[in-house]
A and B are shown apart, each in its own frame.
Chain A
Amino acid sequence: MPKVVIADDEPNILLSLEFLMKKEGYQVFIARDGLEAFELIQQEKPDLLLLDIMMPGLDGYELCRLVKSRDELKHAKVIFLSAKSKTVDKQKGYDAGADLYLPKPFSTRELVAKANELTAA
């Protein structure tokens, strides 16, 4: 069962994401901020990360870089879900090592399809 860690500070978004990923057969872990997310990641060594960018404590970019710099963690695929929609923000996301950057509001169908694609590869 693939593991996914979802980090966002919006409870309602977490709610929907949790529902979606569970339905796709992922084991879901939820974090309200970057630090909490990093602890979870170190603990669970997930296959997929769904990350918001603007979070208190540790932001999404930093978190992604941290994960990608650890040998035991860097196999995880990273999808950014962010209200920041500018090209520069996207570029920053890919530079930090993300596999996909979806601006909010995103299509849940697309998200699920891409997530499955990434974890299957």
Chain B
Amino acid sequence: MSSLTVLVCSLLYLCTLFLIAYWVEKRSRAGKSLVNSPYVYALSLAVYCSAWTFYGSVGRAASAGIEVMAIYIGPTLSAPLWWIVLRKIIRICKVQRITSIADFVSARYGKSRTLGVLATLICVGGLIPYISIQLKAVGDGFRLLSGQTISGGIGDQTLYITLMLVLFTILFGARKLEATERREGMIAAIVFESVVKLVAFLAVGIFVTFWLFDGPADIFGRVAAVPELQQRFVLRPGHTATDWFWYSLLSMLAIVLLPRQFQVAVVENVDEKHLDKAMWLLPLYLFLITLFVLPLAMGGQLLMSGLPAEADGYVVSVPLKFGQPGLALLAYLGGLSAATGMIIVETTALSLMLTNNVILPAFVGKANWQNRSGNSLSGVVINIRRVTILGLFLLSYLYYRTVGYQYPLVSVGLISFAAVAQFAPAVIGGIFWKRGTYTGALLGLIAGTAVWFYTLIVPTLVTAGLLPETLLTTGPWEMGWLKPQALFGLTTLDPLSQSVFWSLFFNIAAYFWGSLNYAQSTRDYNQAVLFVDIFRYARNYDSAIVWKGRALSKDLQSLLASFFGDEQAKRALQRYKQRNQLSENARYADPRVLTFVEKLLSGVVGTASARILVASIGQEEPIKVDEVIEILKTTQELKTVNKDLKRKSSDLEHLTQQLSEANERLRLADQQKDEFLSTVTHEVRTPITSIRAVSEILYDNPDLDDATRRQFLGTVIKETERLTRLINQVLDLERLESGRYKPELEPIRIGEVLDDAVESVSRLADEKAVQLTVTSLCRDALVQGDRDRLMQVLINLMANAIKFCDASVGKIHVETLCRDENVLVKVTDNGIGIDPIYHELIFDKFFQTQEHPAAASGTLVRTAAKPKGSGLGLAISRKIIELHRGTIHVDSQPGAGATFTIQLPLLTQS
């Protein structure tokens, strides 16, 4: 494949990244963010898999066997711990607006500038080689694919790719002023790259495993047949197991502490909850991308034996050799995506660190810096970041051209891992141990880094010929115990493992020793409390004042304005004051405002610089430890009081609610009473009308014949009876409903009550020639009841039935049944029946069919013959049955008779 084709493809691929990033940023500005998803978050974490994974793991597996897998097993094993560690770090960084791992260490230990600088230098020093080997990987891939040797200077294609990456990183990595703001375009590009590299690697893996061989079993079988190969791919007795441990540990730490991982996992995190899914998605990704590492390494060894092919390049060279240039190109692009993803994020993170922890603190203290007004400072900050990005690229490229090309990918990567692992004691101690101090962190970092340098970097300098060979073989000054690769005679571990062991050993020891032997400054302690108890303080962080001193409000505002612009600064301050109910026009700013301003600024210039900036305008007074504790305690108490108040207030709300409900009930009851009264009045008017009319007629017509006179007088008597009945029933119902009536309960036999009731209606039935039959299957059942009341109900039901039956043909059947724990009494007639829509209504007081909409359309209810009762009988019956803890209901269809059923609970004999 021609070098031009490869170059064009590479540039096209990078252009795709630009397009994706541009499009996503545009959508995000339009408010349609695409990156707010746990899947995006998990895929962005996959930036962990750099070119080293893509090319190097195969190479390492081919040369050193399976121990390289530890690099992916470590993160998988530690994933559950992220819930404890990473979540806490994310929360702390969000609250304190921390933007990098160096910033984190600096902020935790009293916002120390020194620590920030030291941490930044460790990162830059430890990672420049790592970035440069990514460039090397791109170059190697390019060379393999195009078949050309790399040419230096202007003709170097790697340079063009590097320049494109510089442009991309500057555009999408350093676009916004606030470092805490998400770089959505960059993240989108990274996610895209994660997908590309996975697809490419799987494609090559499947090709080699299933096309060139007959599946993994075939490869493993053939390797087992070659003794020296077999030797390489099995666990050897001896030190491999402990090496596995150290490699796993190293990668566990790296996946959180590497600047690029910190960037994507913490700074770019949108929602803590995304961590839940990432905890299994990332291990899954790592599993998939390493699935074919061993088959590829073994297959490569088998296929390419005798050929001068580097194992690092198998991913590209194997498909190429077997006539698959398209697949080789895909593999190359996968490698390119792995390398560029890592480079972009790593340089962004490093440039932030350099700017905020090294460059800006040096400037911000200077008077002339602060005298600059307007919005210009924000431009300066962004420009500094851009320049550092360019510088970092330049440095990496130079390193690659001069030194880096000599080393295989994995070794350099592991050296970087070991460098960032030095942060582990300070970071993990910092979030779980309040006693961890600035001195401890400083000593630990220095000790760890020194050992790291001596044991890992010095040997590379020897290899490069810069130091004498004897240093490695006999030790400095002939002192064998000082041999860098076997320090203190530790020879049972491989050089890397022993370096990790010793550097972490001295690091941790110095951290504890320094922490326990040197006093903690107040600011240090304050931050320690905030970090360790972050979940307790996160919500009222602002009120946990860390400032004690005075600053003019005016000065604070102009300080903010120099970064954010006048308008924005004014608005931010106003909003904060309103939210916290602070006076807007105070001459001196409230300490809380100072803290707030410092926090805002730290998002832009880093914690240490922000501290210096705010200190420069406020006269700080030393704040005592107990004051800090007091403040935190007050906050805590306030929170408790606040909680109490909230609860009280919600209690009150609840009470109010209850009151208004009670009120509503009363109003309703009142209304019902009104309606009831009006209905009663109406019901009373009807018989009185008849009585009055008839009486007047009798009075005015003394000469009436005897029969008519008797008829009229009979009417008077009947209507008077009706009136009496009505009044009695109204009083009866009122007594039942008001609760003043308590049924006199005694065990009674349902059959006996029924017999009595039947006896008292039998005359009525006979008069109308209605047939009344009784089947009492359950006559001996005992119920707890009021005999007279139950009889009243039964009589009412039977009287109704008689009333609504046609004379002569009417049939009424009464029966008792026992069912489960209940006794049922059914009264069935063959009368005119009741439309189902009235089945509930008939039990209401004074149910008036005329007033019912359905009645207006002419539907027949039991009113056709109009033997009207008071309209209270069924209401009273239901009330009585309810007082006996029973139910009453009706089954009926118009024209098909009706069955009223009473259900009463059986008295259980105990």
Contacts and interface: CB of A to CB of B under 8 A. Distances in A.
Contacts of A35: 858
A85 B689 contact: no
B867 to A, nearest CB: 10
B729 interface: no
A43 interface: no
A104 B686 contact: yes
Contacts of A105: 685, 688-689, 691-693
A10 interface: yes
Interface of B: 682, 685-686, 688-694, 696-697, 700-701, 708, 711-712, 715, 718-719, 848-851, 855-856, 858, 861, 863-864, 866
Interface stretch (A12-20, A65-73, A91-99, A113-121): A12-20
Chain A CB within 10 A, most for which of B690, B711, B719, B863: B690
Contacts of A45: none
B858 A11 contact: no
A53 to B, nearest CB: 9
Interface residues of A, number: 31
A23 B701 CA distance: 10
Interface string A88-114: 000000000000000111111100000
A17 B693 contact: yes
A13 B696 CA distance: 12
A54 B682 CA distance: 11
B696 A83 contact: no
A16 B685 contact: no
Given A12-B690, A13-B690, A35-B858, A104 B850 contact: no
B694 A109 contact: no
Contact of B715 (A15, A59, A103, A106): A15
Given A83-B685, A83-B686, A12 B700 contact: no
Contacts, number: 82
Contacts of A13: 686, 689-690, 693
A12 B719 contact: yes
Nearest to B718: A12
A81 B690 CA distance: 12
Interface of A: 9-13, 15-17, 19-20, 23, 32, 35, 54-59, 62, 81, 83-85, 103-109
Given A15-B711, A54-B848, A106 B855 contact: no
Nearest to A60: B850
Given A16-B690, A32-B866, A58-B856, 18 more contacts: A9-B863, A10-B866, A12-B715, A15-B694, A23-B701, A56-B850, A56-B858, A56-B864, A57-B856, A57-B858, A59-B856, A62-B856, A83-B682, A83-B685, A105-B688, A106-B693, A107-B692, A109-B696
A9 B686 CA distance: 10
Contacts of B700: 108-109
Contacts of B718: 12
Contacts of B849: 56
Given A104-B689, A105-B689, A16 B866 contact: no
B689 A106 contact: yes
A107 B696 CA distance: 8
8 A-B pairs with the lowest CB-CB distances in the bound complex, closest first: A16-B693, A83-B685, A12-B690, A104-B689, A105-B689, A105-B692, A108-B696, A54-B850
A57 B849 CA distance: 9
Contact of B697 (A20, A55, A104): A20
Contacts of A107: 692, 696
A17 B692 CA distance: 12
24 contacts: A12-B690, A12-B719, A15-B711, A16-B693, A16-B694, A16-B697, A23-B701, A54-B848, A56-B855, A56-B858, A56-B861, A56-B864, A57-B858, A59-B850, A59-B856, A85-B685, A104-B689, A105-B688, A105-B689, A105-B691, A107-B696, A108-B700, A109-B696, A109-B700
Nearest to B711: A15
A9 B700 CA distance: 25
B866 A11 contact: yes
Chain A CB within 10 A, most for which of B688, B690, B693, B712: B693
Chain A CB within 10 A, most for which of B691, B697, B708: B697
Contacts of A15: 694, 711-712, 715
Nearest to A62: B856
Chain B CB within 10 A, most for which of A12, A57, A105, A108: A12
Nearest to B699: A108
A40 B697 CA distance: 26
Contact of A84 (B682, B690, B719, B855): B682
A11 B851 CA distance: 20
Contact of A10 (B686, B701, B848): B686
B693 A108 contact: yes
A81 B718 CA distance: 21
Chain A CB within 10 A, most for which of B696, B719, B848, B855: B696
Contacts of A58: 856, 858
Contact of A104 (B685, B851, B856, B858): B685
Contacts of B685: 83, 85, 103-105
A98 B710 CA distance: 35
A57 to B, nearest CB: 5
A59 B848 CA distance: 13
Given A32-B866, A54-B851, A55-B850, A10 B696 contact: no
A45 B711 CA distance: 31
Contact of A108 (B697, B712, B864): B697
A104 B692 CA distance: 10
Nearest to A9: B866
Nearest to A35: B858
A15 B719 CA distance: 13
B690 A10 contact: yes
A83 B701 CA distance: 26
Nearest to B688: A105
A44 B850 CA distance: 26
A59 B712 CA distance: 27
A108 B719 CA distance: 17
A83 B848 CA distance: 14
Nearest to A84: B682
A108 B849 CA distance: 28
Contacts of B712: 15-16
Chain A CB within 10 A, most for which of B685, B715, B850: B850
Contacts of A62: 856
Contacts of B701: 23
Nearest to A17: B693
A105 B718 CA distance: 17
A82 to B, nearest CB: 9
A11 to B, nearest CB: 7
B818 to A, nearest CB: 40
B86 to A, nearest CB: 74
A107 B697 CA distance: 10
B723 to A, nearest CB: 12
Contacts of B866: 9-11, 32
A85 to B, nearest CB: 7
A104 B693 CA distance: 10
Chain B CB within 10 A, most for which of A16, A23, A84: A16
A20 B695 CA distance: 12
Nearest to B692: A105
A21 to B, nearest CB: 11
A59 to B, nearest CB: 6
A11 B687 CA distance: 11
Nearest to A54: B850
Contacts of B692: 105-108
Nearest to A16: B693
Nearest to B694: A16
A57 B864 CA distance: 10
Contacts of A10: 686, 689-690, 866
Nearest to B715: A12
Contacts of B690: 10, 12-13, 16
A62 B858 CA distance: 13
A39 B638 CA distance: 83
Nearest to A103: B685
A23 to B, nearest CB: 8
